[in-house]
Chains A and B, each alone.
Chain A
Amino acid sequence: MAVALRHGTKVWHRRDRGPQFAIWAAWLVAAAIFVYCWQLISDKTIWAFVTDAPQQAADIAARMVPPDWAFLLKLGRPLWDTLNIATLGTVIAIILAVPVAYCAARNTTPSVAFVRPVALFVIVSSRSINALIWALMLVTIIGPGVLAGILAIGLRSIGFCAKLLYEAIEEIEESQVEAVRATGASGAQVTAYGVVPQVLPAFAGITVFRWDINIRESTVLGLVGAGGIGLPLNAAITTLAWTRVSLILLIIIATVVVSEWVSAKVRHAII
């Protein structure tokens, strides 16, 4: 505890002078960086548009009600596509993530020196590129459509699933594996009876969790042409059909809420 003498009386301070000064200096540097960055952003902003924004917002909001309910009938197909993109993408990701996770986990990898870094690099590069960028890339390469969306979601999810899965594999209880090995089981049998049963609940949980995130992400993939409900959303925004935009946004929120509920239920049942 830091105590300072002032006019002969002891006064309590939270910190000694040194740490206090270090914290003050850190705040000063942080504030300076923030002001500098803000200045650069501010230079690139047309402030007339920003001051105008409340009016614009009120205007758009007024044009959005009431939602164009008749359009609902035409949204069935895009919604089905969105669901398929998320689900099939998750399936692809899981199929590819299992071997990657197996190679990345310290206790199951065939080779710590060679295979593990490769697996970790796959995980990192898949994770650091957003699904929308994957979609942008795939739309350019294989053309617009649902397939690009499925592959984008799949490629984005490999890293996420593999990372959580390899952490689960690293946390397994080694004594069970050893017990299976002691019965004379082969390498594949050790994996099947010693490792898999221990990570299966985590695996199912990760799958459902990622599926929930993928539903959320697949709603916007259509903005770059990769199918799903983002396509009509983009079309409605570019044609300024605000009543349709509000309807689609309501549908998206409903879908996200339902998928979150399903995923929470399933995870609750598993764990």
Chain B
Amino acid sequence: MKARTAWLGGLLCVGCAMLPTTLEPAQVRYFVRTDWEGAPLESGARIIETDLGYTVAISSFQLRTTSIELVPCEPLASLDLGPTRALAHGSSYEHDISAIEPGIMDDLMLEEAQALGYSIATRSAYCELFSVHGTGRDEVVVSLVGWYLAPGSDEPVPFAAEHSLGVTDVAPLSLGAFDDALLPDEAEVVITRFPARAFHGLPLDELPEVDLAYEVGLALLRTREIRWAIGPS
């Protein structure tokens, strides 16, 4: 990770007179990082206390990222999905040119930001980030290993949960900043995930492992934070 991406840790262009209102890049770099806030590291595992009173230890946590792209602000003129899909048959839909397809399992145990890829973009306004996690039903999307203690119990229950159901996520690009270290029209988008938040509300001792993996994966996507920065115009 480059020094110029220090803003990724949460500094939103302190001292800037103005913040950018829309993201209109000509090129974009994507990063993911994990924020284990509230989950101390003990004996190689992250320890989480959930709102339902479970103690969860996570020793391995991976999420597949199949593709990521920016979504133009301009809505499609109609719901005429047929021709669009037909033209792109086999790839489900037409990607924006900002799309990257890493197709990898992100290791969420790492705290450092990981570069996912780089793409050109249209310079038009983008409002959302769209990501696909898993294609088909043959590849693992979420893999999760650890154990938990149910409320009032001192007996650890081990789990090695995974699921292979593709999921998608759409997030608004609302947290933007200027970054003088970037080239003009160059953008960086950082997705921060908070695993400690993904276990809240889950009755772990009543969930089959496939549902555990699926629900944690969904919650991970829904509680993520998207920040972007763009070079001076």
Genuine A/B complex = no
Q: Using a CB–CB distance below 8 Å, which chain B residues touch chain A?
A: none
Residues of A at under 8 Å CB distance from B?
Answer: none
